Amino acid sequence: MPVGSTATLISTHQLAPEELMKAAVVRDFRQPLVIEHRPVPTPGHGEIVVRIEASGLCHTDIHAAHGDWPIKPTLPFVPGHEGVGIVTRVGGGVTRVKEGDRVALPWLGYACGTCEFCVSGWETLCAKQVNTGYGMDGAYSEYAKAFAAYVGIVPAGLDPFDAAPLACAGVTTYKAVKASGARSSDLVAVFGVGGLGHLAVQYAKIAGATVVAVDLTEDKLAMAKQLGADYTVNAAREDPVQAIQKLGGADAAIALAVSPRAFEQAFASLRRKGTLVFVALPADNSVRIPIFETVLNGITIVGSIVGTRKDLDEVYELHARGRTHVIRETRPLETVNQSIQDVLDGTVTGRIVFDLRDTAVAEPLERQLTAAGA
């Protein structure tokens, strides 16, 4: 399918070109996103404006665009919570970052900073949190506004196209491996090795564990092997529960595939005293877990949602030291609808990252239309 064939470009005539930016907008749930010209935001107190360079496509963006979850975003909105770019403007009271700094706009766009969760290192559980690309406009856009206190600081020298997926896929799996309690003598099973899973495999290896990767496609399993997985199981061809139990059972299983069945298999693959970490959020919001086996086998089930700013710092530090590899594919923002379809079809091996560099807002509309293939 030609680039941009599923997206249309709408112009805003009232503003000068330098005041306009290109953004992919959700106007209706379950309708294709629309590429629009919108006004470049201005920062309020405590806020910054970021010129986005790279913006990752996370499965959560698809759930947001489809209105899959009980609490839905307010339409219209711009998705995207793996945005990385350069600070171009700072609002009053901002001291944490300055113009020219490279920052990441993660899922946790804002938290209150004073509740019991915020003050105890669990800001990701703050009830007053606002999520980037959900409760506030996100990073499928040339510019995005953010709360300075909650952006990630991208270390110098880090590739923005690596930093973008690490802002969600990275920090989420890093935290999930922490939540799994993985130790060097453990067998860790990673269910689903796409955008998240390929990073989970690496963090479990960094923790010293033996890793078994489970997926339905050979390409992804081959990638997992290259990234350090000790064992791979193709769940389309063999029963992952049997395969993992044959290895002695998993001390920890991390459920990253958006399929309740994979969660159930992950549970059944555990050994006694094992830990199951729920991470993926299937639209079909329930699993069947047997109570008897959970009690008698002393199983722990834990939910893990993204990670804190500190976790993200650690993720970037590991990457800066060359300990992790990000598998990603760069595409123009105009491919957004096809890209979403490709993720849904499971045909994308790593992470899709939209390239928002050098699409100057002052560029004539005709040229943009040509570039978009419209």
Q: Is the CB of 1 or the CB of 119 nearer to Zn ion?
A: 119
Nearest CB to Zn ion, comparing residues 86 and 112: 112
How far apart are CB 129 and Zn ion at their closest, in Å? 7
Q: Which is nearer to Zn ion, 118 or 146 (CB)?
A: 118
**With the C-alpha atoms ordered 99, 145, 40, 93, is the resulting torsion angle positive or negative?**
negative
| Least distance to Zn ion, CB of residue 50, Å | 17
Q: How far is the CB of 51 from Zn ion (least distance, A)?
A: 21
Q: Tokens 């665009």 map to which residue?
A: 65
- Cβ 152 to Zn ion shortest distance, Å: 13
Choice between 115 and 302, CB closer to Zn ion: 115
Q: Least distance from C-beta 121 to Zn ion, angstroms?
A: 11
Cβ proximity to Zn ion: between 112 and 371 the closer is 112
Range 216-223 contact pairs with CB under 8 angstroms and sequence separation of 24 or more: 216/346, 217/346, 219/349, 220/193, 220/194, 220/349, 221/193, 223/193, 223/198, 223/327, 223/349, 223/350
Q: Which residues bind Zn ion (CB under 5 A)?
A: 58, 60, 111-112, 115, 118, 126, 168
Pairing of strands 9-10, 20-25: unpaired
346 versus 373: smaller Cβ distance to Zn ion: 346
Give the CA distances from residue 292 to residues 86, 271, 302, 374, in Å, rounded to whole numbers and listed in that order.
53, 14, 18, 58
The residue among 128 and 183 lying less far from Zn ion, judged by its C-beta, is: 128
